[in-house]
Amino acid sequence: MIILGVHPGYHEAAACLFDEYRLVSAVSLERLTRRKIDGGRVPEEAIDECLAIAGLTRGEVDAVVLGRGAFPWRYYSHFHGGRMIEGKLRQAIGKEKHKSMERELVRAGHADSMALFNEKKFLSDFGFRQTTQLSFFNHHLAHALPTLFHTDWEDALLYTSDGGGDNVQYSQRIFRAGELLTLYGGDDCFADPGRIDSLGLAYGYATQALGWSINRHEGKLTGLAALGEPSVADAIAAQFIVDDQAQIRCAFSTNTELRRFIFEISETISREDMAASIQEVLERITLTSVQRLLEQHGVHHLGLSGGVFGNVRLNQLLAEKTGVEEIFVYPAMSDQGLPAGGVLQFLLERDGINLWLDARYPLETLYCGRDWGDTADKVLENTPELVTISNNPVGKTAEFLMAGKAVAIFGHGMEYGPRALGARSILASPADASINDSLNERLDRSEFMPFAPVVSAEDAETLFDIDDCNRYAAQFMTITCNVKEAWRARIPAVVHVDGTARPQIIRRAHNPLYYDILAAFKQRSGLPTIINTSFNVHEEPIINRPEECARALADDRVDYVVTEQAVYGRRR
């Protein structure tokens, strides 16, 4: 069965394709349109890219699973009176509005999306068969399910947290004895008044207060936090409580009040101290909620997803302080990952929990975009400003890294989620911390965390505090950990001021070129790690197409590009 997952989110719209339980392709809209956090509509470009990767058409899709995001007015079937008249007029003059399915369900006080949706018209207009099954997924369940599906756990707390979705900002579910119990965050919450309780929004408002963009630059605060003191953390934390059911509550009655409070308190201190304060609050309140749930339900594993858990320092704290046996953060933890979780919800409802659990498998890679193969080499070879440097990609790249050069790797399919994991990465030596400033300047970035290190599975425990609890999460750079004291001075470019790093652990079977470059660099330098930072320019999504790769090289964003076949540079 071919199942298409689609999230028409207001930011990070995305699509994915499954063949039964096998993820075939997944792409976020921003990577195709080149507009950061693009959304607010059905992501047709992402739909067609996912199908093209699989060699399929819309007419061959057996089921479409939709997120409750933005749809054109014409696909809603419940409007009447003034809203009906306004909608028809706007449609007639070409100014049709998109409406949020989530908001319409809140108005209706129920979760029955199909009761509000013109299924036949949608399927017809988008080129799907009239026999194609169509359904909607729950936002937080779609966040949570991949954290269980891609593990072999017999029990777990599945905890989600973000700025909001389906009328809630959190969900908590307990998995035990083959059953999945929703504690909070299900579809029943559509009938309840919306709660003002989001730590994710508070963090986003702090991002805005310091001059950056919400839903885009929160990572800057995470790095900046280590440079300040949490001087107003107590004042902010006093606005939040964790009740006896481990639910997070907030003192404010509207998000506008919460935002005003964050802005006002940020004006009294340095931005470093504000970043440290909101980070401390996020960690303190989330840890209290998670610990309380683990104690109440006696489970030993922790699955995390939702945009809040893009915060790698928070994830490290939860791994170290909760005592769980293993923590797994879904790598596509933001709304980019919702289509895959939505398909898993469809399969769970179709097959039941026992068959669904039997189909589980661990994640190995996230190379879910288009693999351009030798097309990339043809583009690079035929770009006038570029020239082939060497047909020895491994040895020559290691040589350039030893010389302090920045080499972008372009191969496999583009990664699914916010992290570059060796398919669209920039590689550099970790031995000189000045590479952070020089490369950020070339990429027009302003970052406060060092670049991430990539390390082989064989060497990971030598350099970093890696154990059974955090090893799986560290395969996807979703968690920080302490760097061993003996290595900190030798690899300063990947060590933060607090002695931590955000490693990616790799195995050769998953990406031989990436692994072999690392091994060749280790042989030459004695350092078993190299820098991995995303191949993109500031405010642009990660590189997708070969033409974008060639332009970045021609524009001197990196010194060289390496593919499976060759190393390319600028013509001198």
Helix (H, G, I), strand (E, B) or coil at 9: coil
- What pTM was estimated for this model as a whole? 0.97
Q: How many CA atoms lie within 13 A of 305 on its CB side?
A: 31
Residue matched to tokens 């974008």:
548
Distances (CA, A) of 226 to 115, 215, 279, 495: 49, 21, 9, 12
348: tokens are: 């769970």
Cβ contacts of 526 within 8 Å, gap of 6 or more: none
Select from 2.40.128.640, 3.90.870.20, 3.40.30.10, 3.40.1350.10 the CATH code of 367-570. 3.90.870.20
290: tokens are: 């998670």
One DSSP character per residue, 25-65 reads EEEEHHHHH--TT--SS--HHHHHHHHHHHT--GGG-SEEE
Q: Where are the domains of the chain?
A: 2-136, 148-330, 367-570
- What single-letter DSSP state applies at residue 393? H
Written as tens digits, the pLDDT of the chain (572 aa) is 999 999 999 989 999 999 999 999 999 999 999 999 999 999 999 999 999 999 999 999 999 999 999 999 999 999 999 899 888 899 889 899 999 999 999 999 999 999 999 999 999 999 999 999 999 999 999 999 999 999 999 999 999 999 999 999 999 999 999 999 999 999 999 999 999 999 999 999 999 999 999 988 899 999 999 999 999 999 999 999 999 999 999 999 999 999 999 999 999 999 999 999 999 999 999 999 999 999 999 999 999 999 999 999 999 999 999 999 999 999 999 999 999 999 999 999 999 999 999 999 999 999 999 999 999 999 999 999 999 999 999 999 999 999 999 999 999 999 999 999 999 999 999 999 888 888 888 888 777 777 999 999 999 999 999 999 999 999 999 999 999 999 999 999 999 999 999 999 999 999 999 999 999 999 999 999 999 999 998 789 999 999 999 999 999 999 999 999 999 999 98
Under CATH, domain 148-330 is a member of which superfamily?
A: ATPase, nucleotide binding domain (3.30.420.40)
pLDDT of 444 reads 83
Cβ contacts of 105 within 8 Å, gap of 6 or more: 68, 111, 112, 113, 116, 166, 167, 190
pLDDT of 477 reads 97
SS3 content of the chain, % helix, strand, coil (to 5): 40, 20, 35
Helix (H, G, I), strand (E, B) or coil at 533: strand
pLDDT of 338 reads 98
- What single-letter DSSP state applies at residue 418? S
pLDDT of 537 reads 82
Q: Give CA–CA dist 302/160, Å, rounded.
A: 11
One DSSP character per residue, 182-224 reads EEE-SGGGGGSPPP---HHHHHHHHHHHTTS-TTTSHHHHHHH
Cβ contacts of 545 within 8 Å, gap of 6 or more: 372
pLDDT of 465 reads 98
| Structural class in CATH, domain 2-136 | alpha beta
Domain 2-136 identical in fold to domain 367-570: no
pLDDT of 67 reads 98
- What single-letter DSSP state applies at residue 493? G
pLDDT of 443 reads 87
Residue matched to tokens 């409802």:
349
pLDDT of 489 reads 97
Tally Cβ neighbours within 10 Å of residue 272: 18
